[in-house]
Amino acid sequence: MTNGRTIGLIGGGSWGTALANLLGNAGHRVRIWDLNEELLADMERDRENKRYLPGVAICDNVTVAHRLADALDGAGLALFAVPAQHFRSAISSALPFMRQDAILVNVAKGIEQGSLMTISQIAAERAPTCAYAVLSGPSHAEEVGANMPTTVAVASADIRVAEQVQDIFMTDRFRIYTNTDVIGLELGGSLKNIIALGAGISDGMGFGDNTKAALMTRGMAEMVRLGVRMGAHAETFSGLSGIGDLIVTCTSMHSRNRRCGILIGEGMDPKEATAKVGMVVEGMYTAEAAYDLSRRFDIEIPITESICKVIKGELDAKEALTALMGRPKRHEREA
C-alpha cells in the first residue's frame, strides 16, 4: 500500500467522512471541505461528524479545510463525495484549484437530471486533463466508519489509474477490485437505488420476501438492459457494483433509499418521505433520469417506470403494483 498521499476531499456527508477516516487511518493526509461552514466548524470542534456519522471519531490525519483552495492545494487526488446532482457545480468550483495531473475519484451514485449524463461524462466535459476513477459497491458509511470488512470495486478507463486508486484506498478491512468498465460501475451504483426504493415501498405495503426477491431480480434485468444499451458490460452487473450493491441497498435499514420507500409504501407523500429521511435520496432523482434514458434508447424498464410515476404522483403504490402484475405474459429473457 502507498502511504503519505495528500488528498483533497469535497463533501462532508456520511460517506465522505467515512472515507476520510479510512484514508487518514491508512496514513494519508486528508483535507475535507464542504459548502456547509457550520458542519465544518462542528467537525473541527468535536472531531466527529455528529450530524451524518455520529459515534465515529475523526482521526488525526484528517483536517478540516475552510476554503476549497486549501483542501485541494497540492493534492494528487481529489475525492468527490457530493450528491450526483451537485457534482457539476462542485467540479466547476474545484477545477481552478486542482492539479492538472490529479486523479479525480468520484463516489457519488446517480445520473444528472436534464442532461442525463453520468458523472464520468460530466468529468470528461469539465476536467478533461484529470484521470477519472469511480469507486462503488456495497459500502454503507456506518459500517465503513466502524471498520467493518467491506469490498468494493474501482473503475477507470486506464487500468493503471484504477490500480493507483486501489493502492491508495485498500486496507486490511477495505478490499478493492479493479475494473475498466466505468459506465457499468456507475450505472450499477446508480440504478440500484431505484430498485431499493421499490423494495422499500414493498416493505411499507406489508409484502414479504417473495415480492422483494421478484423486484430485485427483475430490477437487475432492467439495470443490465439499460446498462448494455449505454455501452456497459453485462458482466459488471454481476459484480460488487451491481448485484452486490443491489442486495445491500434493498435489504438494509442503513439504506436511505429503502427507508424512503418504506415511508411511501406506508402512504406518505414522496416529498414528505424524502424530507423525513433527512439526507439526499439519490433514487428519487435517478428514477426520472433512468426513465428518460429508457425512452431515449427505446427500451422497456417497467419497474423503474412505475417507481418514477409513484414519485411524481401519477400513480399510487397499489396502482403501480397492479400495473406491474398485470403486464402481458413474457418469456423470462424478454423485457
Query: pLDDT per residue over 241-261, tens digit each?
Result: 999 999 999 999 999 999 999
- Cell numbers at 97, concatenated: 484549484
In percent, how much of the chain has pLDDT > 90?
A: 96
Q: What is the pLDDT of residues 205-244, one digit of tens each?
A: 999 999 999 999 999 999 999 999 999 999 999 999 999 9
Q: Which residue has the higher pLDDT, 335 or 26?
A: 26
Q: Whole-angstrom Cα distance, residue 52 to residue 29? A: 21
- With beta carbons less than 8 A apart as the criterion, state whether 279 and 216 touch: no
First to last CA, the chain: 44
Task: Identify the CA nearest to 202 among candidates 243, 246, 263.
Answer: 263
Q: What is the pLDDT of residue 4?
A: 81
Q: What is the mean pLDDT of residues 104-126?
A: 97
Mean pLDDT of 136-143: 97
Domain locations in the chain?
6-180, 183-325
Cell digits of residue 106: 468520484
- What gap in Å lies between CA 237 and CA 225, rounded to an integer? 10
* Residues 54, 16 contacting (CB under 8 angstroms): no
Burial of 18 (0-12, 13-18, 19+ CB in 10 A): buried
Q: Is the pLDDT confidence value at 150 over 50?
A: yes
Average pLDDT along the chain? 96
Query: Residue 1's pLDDT band (boundaries 50, 70, 90)?
Result: very low
162-173 average pLDDT score: 98
Region 169-186: what's the mean pLDDT? Answer: 98
Grade residue 2 by pLDDT with cuts at 50, 70 and 90. Answer: very low
pLDDT score, position 109: 96
Question: Which residues are designated catalytic?
Answer: 192
C-alpha–C-alpha distance, residues 200 and 289, integer Å = 20
CATH code that applies to domain 6-180: 3.40.50.720
Q: Are 79 and 10 in contact, with CB atoms under 8 Å apart?
A: yes
- Asked whether 197 and 284 are in contact (CB, 8 A), the reply is yes
pLDDT score of 190 more than 50: yes
The two domains 6-180 and 183-325 share their CATH topology (first three levels equal) = no
Q: Count the residues in the chain.
A: 335
The Cα–Cα gap between 99 and 95 comes to 8
Phi, psi at 6, each rounded to 5°? -100, 125
State the pLDDT confidence band at 3, using cuts at 50, 70 and 90: low
- Fold type of domain 183-325: N-(1-d-carboxylethyl)-l-norvaline Dehydrogenase; domain 2 (1.10.1040)
